[in-house]
Amino acid sequence: MFIIPFALIDLLVGIALATSAYFDFAGNNLIFYLAIVGLLKGVYSILTAMAAGFYYDVIGWIDVVAGILLMTTTWGIASHIFLYLGIIVILKGIYSFMMGLVTQN
């Protein structure tokens, strides 16, 4: 039920993070709110994984790191390494979207 909307959030965060290596997002409130949503999505993923007894939720930690790094771009701190993490988040979003389509109840 939440897989496809979460995948779309991943895609948006990944695209914003990848493009932050080339564009200035300093002071952009939309990107800041997107970073907050991505960060909260990661925290939600980690907490629900821990509640289920799975303590090695790498995917959730990728979301947390991506959210924090995207938030730093709104403060004027950006690096070209953000491009590669953005690509990882985009690939994770594509995978989640496809899995959401296949496993739809």
The C-alpha atoms of residue 28 and residue 62 are separated, in whole angstroms, by 22
Using one digit for the tens of pLDDT, what is the confidence trace for 9-19? Answer: 999 999 999 99
pLDDT at 1: 67
Residue range of the domain that includes 98: 3-102
Q: Where does the pLDDT of residue 2 fall: very low under 50, low under 70, confident under 90, or very high at 90 and above? A: confident
Residues 6+ apart with CB under 8 A from 78: 20, 21, 24, 25, 72
**Number of domains forming the structure of the chain:** 1
Instruction: With CA atoms as reference, report the closest residue to 66 among 25, 22, 1, 9.
Output: 9
Using one digit for the tens of pLDDT, what is the confidence trace for 49-72? Answer: 999 999 999 999 999 999 999 999
The C-alpha atoms of residue 30 and residue 74 are separated, in whole angstroms, by 9
Query: What pTM did the predictor assign?
Result: 0.91
pLDDT of 105 higher than 80: no
The C-alpha atoms of residue 102 and residue 96 are separated, in whole angstroms, by 10
The C-alpha atoms of residue 20 and residue 41 are separated, in whole angstroms, by 20
